[in-house]
Chains A and B, each alone.
Chain A
């Protein structure tokens, strides 16, 4: 599966469109991580635990999107966008969407 956030795949041509595909996940952080982040928050800087959490969530959203595109018979997803929304305090939704296509 080729992923890109361009509108076309450079060096290849699109032969078929399958429409929008999306993958999302809502993740909550756990207490241990929150506690550590609270301590880290005094001194500032990167919160590695949260970075890791967001990366895992984004990967899962992407995987779900790829799965959906695979079911349609696509071999590439173009014009991918990511959005993050905080659903409630301590939980975030990660959404990945794009257009599934077949390219040559």
Chain B
């Protein structure tokens, strides 16, 4: 009994010693898993909603060719603040050495942009077309040191509803 508990306490001591070095890796692992799951879920929801809204286009043009009579026109806004997870930030550190596209960041901004457009559309469910759609991205904070690095994506457009002809 005596040597066993000695071994156990020794093992525990070694574990406690390496724990501070382990924590960053555990955080990375946690970030990797949760980040993957959130991204997958988010894309699933984006794909589903984009399909629902596919027949109501958001266009950058200001006029439609042979536009029907307009019943109402009002501005709608959709926005989202999105951040990259810890694992992607870690990866980007390597990317900064070699240069090239930061794929892990592109997907985050892509998600944000599509989400913003969807929110804009959802703000006006009865619209027939969204004219003059503008997108704007701005970094809320740069993420220097311990600060949070995240970006805001804003989408705005004029939601136009056509006059319904009574048939």
Contact surface of A with B, Cβ cutoff 8 Å:
2-7, 9-11, 34, 37-38, 40-47, 50-51, 53-55, 58, 80-86, 89-90, 92
Contact = CB atoms under 8 A, between A and B. Distances in A.
26 contacts: A4-B74, A6-B73, A6-B131, A6-B158, A7-B62, A11-B69, A11-B71, A34-B148, A37-B150, A41-B83, A41-B86, A41-B150, A42-B34, A42-B85, A43-B30, A45-B82, A45-B85, A46-B82, A50-B152, A51-B81, A53-B81, A54-B79, A54-B81, A54-B140, A86-B142, A90-B147
Interface of B: 27, 30-31, 34-35, 38-39, 42, 62, 67, 69-71, 73-75, 77, 79-88, 108, 112, 115, 131-132, 134, 136, 138-142, 144, 146-150, 152, 154, 156-158, 160
A2 B81 contact: no
Nearest to B139: A86
Interface of B, secondary structure class, is strand
Given A11-B69, A41-B149, A45-B38, A92 B86 contact: no
Nearest to A44: B85
B158 to A, nearest CB: 5
B35 A10 contact: no
Interface of A, secondary structure class, is mixed
